[in-house]
Amino acid sequence: MADPFFERLGTTRSVSKQILGGRFFFSSQSDALLDLVETTYGGLPGYMLSAASSEFHVELRLVRRKERATHVPPLVQMQSGAGLLCGVMDASNYVALMPAQRKALIVASEDMLINPYHLRYELIEFAVFTLATRGMDLVPLHGACVGQHGRGLLLLGASGSGKSTLALNSLLHGLDFLAEDAVFVQPDDLLATGVPNYLHVKADALPLIEEEYVRRWICSAPVIRRRSGIEKFEIDLRTSLGRLAESPMTLKGAVFLSAEQANGSAALLSRLSADKAVARLTADQPYAASQPGWQTFLQRTVQAGVYELRRGKYPRASVDALLPLLA
């Protein structure tokens, strides 16, 4: 009764991580929650976007659930007001963000640690990505990014279009990996950053991989289950066969993946006209299109080049089609 808001929780421990170009300080009384932060962000390249790194503070609290736990937690419901951004699963699992103060509070129940997939992606990652976007004026994009020598390509398309499969084959054939599902871009110079920790691949991608040892490596990874019901191997790229990007990449173009198979000698890659490029990008990225830096990003990306990539007969053909754009 003397501390109804749980303001005096005692000694906390903290860790710091360089993520997306910002310095994040995570504090908690729970070693298990900080271990999860380490699992998610440990061992990653320390990306810098400017000489002075922005600082963010995230507090994590572990609580006992008061209501009966369900097998799959409820969908996160978004709310905002009074300078706060909130994502709420239930009374025991939620995140409250204060972008102006560059702070976040994450509350999670003990049972979420048993299967931490939703805790990792829907609460912790949500907090980190949102703070970084607002605090560093980045354009947040749903897409993948691969490249070489500091030059990158943004891979776009609806879920199931093959972004992860192409990213995997790009990784296996010598390109650097920056991000699988979320890319964050400085609009003025198209400098892209991401979190190259995991790659998620469906089992139906295995027949497209020629090397038996690579298939064994993928099959040894844990399997996660999306809310859609789709199951994927979660490959930890920090112990992988490929190469993580050592620094953010300057985008040299954006590539929409098509499910259409290229016929015969037809070119796999074709450049979209400026009008079509603007329409495709805006339709594909509705959230990013509402952000302050969108128009600058759109203009610079269309100038760099927006392309459509049809599927080749072999996965290597799609990777080869991308290489001239990175020259």
Q: Are residues 290 and 186 in the same domain?
A: yes
267 is written with which tokens?
């070119």
Average pLDDT for runs of 10 along the chain of length 327: 83 94 97 96 94 90 77 92 96 96 97 92 97 97 96 90 87 93 97 95 87 91 91 90 92 93 77 97 97 97 96 84 94
Predicted local distance difference test score (pLDDT) of residue 266: 62
* Domain annotation covers residue 5: no
* Domain annotation covers residue 1: no
* Domain annotation covers residue 171: yes
13: CB partners within 8 A, 6+ apart: 27, 28, 29, 31, 34
The Cα–Cα gap between 259 and 60 comes to 41
Predicted local distance difference test score (pLDDT) of residue 39: 95
The Cα–Cα gap between 309 and 14 comes to 45
Predicted local distance difference test score (pLDDT) of residue 242: 80
Q: Are residues 151 and 280 in the same domain?
A: yes
Which of 136, 161, 180 is the endpoint of a domain? 136
φ, ψ of residue 214 in degrees (nearest 5): -70, -40
Q: Are residues 121 and 153 in the same domain?
A: no
Residue numbers of the domain that contains 268: 140-326
Q: Are residues 109 and 234 in the same domain?
A: no
Interhelix angle for 163-172 vs 315-322, to 10°? 80
* Domain annotation covers residue 127: yes
* Domain annotation covers residue 6: no
Q: Are residues 88 and 224 in the same domain?
A: no
Predicted local distance difference test score (pLDDT) of residue 163: 87
Max Cα–Cα distance, the chain, nearest Å: 76
Which of 116, 136, 156 is the endpoint of a domain? 136
Q: Are residues 129 and 149 in the same domain?
A: no
Predicted local distance difference test score (pLDDT) of residue 210: 81
The Cα–Cα gap between 321 and 278 comes to 22
Q: Are residues 194 and 317 in the same domain?
A: yes
Which of 78, 104, 136 is the endpoint of a domain? 136
Contact 72, 61 (CB under 8 A): no
* Domain annotation covers residue 146: yes
By CB neighbour count within 10 A (0-12 exposed, 13-18 middle, 19+ buried), where does 289 fall?
middle
Q: Are residues 216 and 169 in the same domain?
A: yes
Q: Are residues 221 and 321 in the same domain?
A: yes
Q: Are residues 86 and 165 in the same domain?
A: no
Q: Are residues 76 and 95 in the same domain?
A: yes
42: CB partners within 8 A, 6+ apart: 17, 238
In what order do the strands lie in the sheet containing 223-225?
A: 198-201, 231-236, 223-225
Interhelix angle for 294-304 vs 274-284, to 10°? 130
102 is written with which tokens?
């560059």
* Domain annotation covers residue 7: no
Q: Are residues 173 and 281 in the same domain?
A: yes
Positive or negative, the CA dihedral 287, 291, 293, 294 is positive
Number of domains forming the structure of the chain: 2
The CATH number given to whatever domain includes residue 149 is 3.40.50
